[in-house]
Amino acid sequence: QVENAENIFQDGGNPCMNAASKKAILIVSFGTSYENTRKRTIDAIERDIADAFPACPAYRAWTSKMIIAKLKKRDGIIIHTVKEAMEQMLLDGITDVIVQPTHVINGIENDQMKADALSFRDRFSSIVFGNPLLTTEEDNQAVVQAVAGEFQDMDQETALVLMGHGTEHYAALDYRFKDMGHKNIFLGTVEAYPALDSLLRAADSFQPKKIVLAPFMIVAGDHAQNDLAGEDPDSWMNRLSSEGYEVTPVLKGLGEYPKIRQILV
């Protein structure tokens, strides 16, 4: 039985409370090698989900094999892949698995995660999936409100420039910020459109006195530390500074925002 997560929750009750089965929640993240941001983002999301469903054991898996290998070699920390976590749940007697990704969109990482989990479909009674952060129109609106709320004290002469990872989703979400009245919030990507050059043109037309830079990613990891606010002349902070803007980086991942975590819960 493979279905959407909504079907589990349709009775409005706790999906883990069922004497005939033993359900668990597998929380799947890309991962990060930066301990400080992990504690404030991935760990916080996992804690909130575990607190919301105390009858369900909560398991962790990461999808970045490179980061998993780095942590094992550098820190001696063992993080399960999705397949390893599924194996562990079988050993623990879990019969039904609820998989909740912390991925921002339903992209390559999420597709691979589903494929890895579903390779166990014959060994569990059910495997069901929660949605990535940005899935529905309601999600888009809720995320815009959550981000805007985090920066609500910013004056209208300051622009907030957000760095996403990179797909076509982000151009539409950038428009959504403007459409919902946040004319001074700009969302770009590090690897796709809109790129920084597009944001520079948009910022010039807005003519902000100051720019606040922040990652539009669950964790403030490698992209935030280097591409966003790094010392390289091509980092977004240095590119914007060279254009004459007063730039303040805020290295705070989306997972630090309580309202973002609540969407995932």
Question: Of the residues 103, 165, 169, 223, which is catalytic?
Answer: 165
Please say whether the beta carbons of 53 and 14 come within 8 A.
yes
As a whole number of Å, the CA-based R_g of the chain is: 20
169 included as an active-site residue = no
The CA distance from 143 to 257, in Å, is 10
The CA distance from 245 to 239, in Å, is 9
Q: Would you name the residues annotated as active-site residues?
A: 165
